Amino acid sequence: MLDGSSDVGAAIRGTSLASLEALAAAISLLATLSSGKGGKDPLVQHRVPLVRVLCEHLGSAEPALAEQAATALGNLSIHAKLRTEMLKQSIVEALVALVQKTPLDAGADVFIPNSLACLHNLSLLPDALPLMTTLPMAKALFPRVSGTSPLSRRAAALLSKCCTSNKEVAAHLTASGVVPSLAALLVSEVERTETAAEKAAEKAAEKGKSSSEDGGAPAGGGAAVDDDEEIGADEADDELLVGALVRVLTACASRPEAATALCEAGALPVLVRLLQQRNSLLQGNVALCIADLAKDERSLAVLAVQPVVAPLLAIAHEQKGQQQKNAAIALGRLAKNAHCLKAIRDNHGIEILARAMAGKL
């Protein structure tokens, strides 16, 4: 990796870079250096002036400067000390204001997605979260949640934080009638990822067969990324969208009109399939969503014909904490249906729930 990150930071802080092109190039180089492992460490000692200058160029009328400043801040925000300095220098407020005032058809390629990546990382600071989870911010984010672009994924991730931190946001989304489109997007995204996974498995099987014939061994798989991990401005974040949509819809699911929308969009079978994902955070959120949906008579009837009991019992039996509690609540509400109650009994669910809830009541 290239060395000299601190020199680049010093150059940006100085006044010797008179031309706009040179300044843009310096910030671009900084963004590149800061994306690598260890590239942020040399910049920590320059964090006060560096953050100040980058913040100034976020609002630049020159698109290249604004884009590179957003990219650099997104990458630098992965470092805890740099995040803290950004909070001190009101980067959160600056980014929120820029997202809210930037037209929907502008900044979609680089500027807004990288600004949202920076905000996502800054949301790990408790004092930063209230500044970015307001109703006006949610209103600016929702129109950007469409499809599977980096902009859509990152907007959905931040919108989910708005919903879970601010009850006013979930109420507004439900009343505004946007839940059907979010539910439809969840269904299409899960189906897309399932199809991609099936094709990858088929390809891996073919490769494994070929490697076996050659005396080799198939390669190992990857691991999911937790929602609360930092996101680099230039990193792929394909797994954000499903988890974010689940959190948004869970926040809305307790309202009858939202339950109806989820039911009509065909989201309930999809949610049941998501219970079998090897991601405890996702499972816990899905279990909570199902628990709220089970309060709705129509949704309960639909859930009753799905294979929902066994995976919920597995979560209640194998996991701990909030995930286990959410699964137990969901099973308790599903038990109002005779078919679900029989499935719970047949799968030793009474004993599992008794053990799970022992000492917690």
% of the chain surpassing 90 pLDDT: 57
Q: Are 155 and 146 in contact (CB under 8 A)?
A: no
pLDDT digits (tens, 9 = 90+) for 157-208: 999 999 999 999 999 999 999 999 999 999 999 999 888 878 887 777 777 6
Ranges assigned E (strand) in the chain: none
30 closest CA partner among 55, 7, 14, 47? 7
Q: CA–CA separation, 267 vs 64, rounded Å?
A: 41
- Domain 1-99+112-122, CATH: 1.25.10.10
- Residues 40-80 have pLDDT tens digits of 788 888 899 999 989 988 888 888 888 889 999 999 999 99
99-158 residue pLDDT tens: 999 998 877 778 899 999 999 999 999 999 999 999 999 999 999 998 888 899 999 999
Which residues are within 8 A (CB) of 165 and not within 5 positions of it... i.e. 6 or more apart?
129, 130, 133
Is the pLDDT confidence value at 264 over 80?
A: yes
Question: What's the pLDDT band for 33 if we cut at 50, 70, 90?
Answer: confident
CA dihedral angle for residue 330, residue 331, residue 335, residue 337, rounded to 10 degrees: 60
* pLDDT band at residue 280 using 50, 70 and 90 as cut-offs: confident
> What are the structure tokens assigned to 206, written together?
């073919």
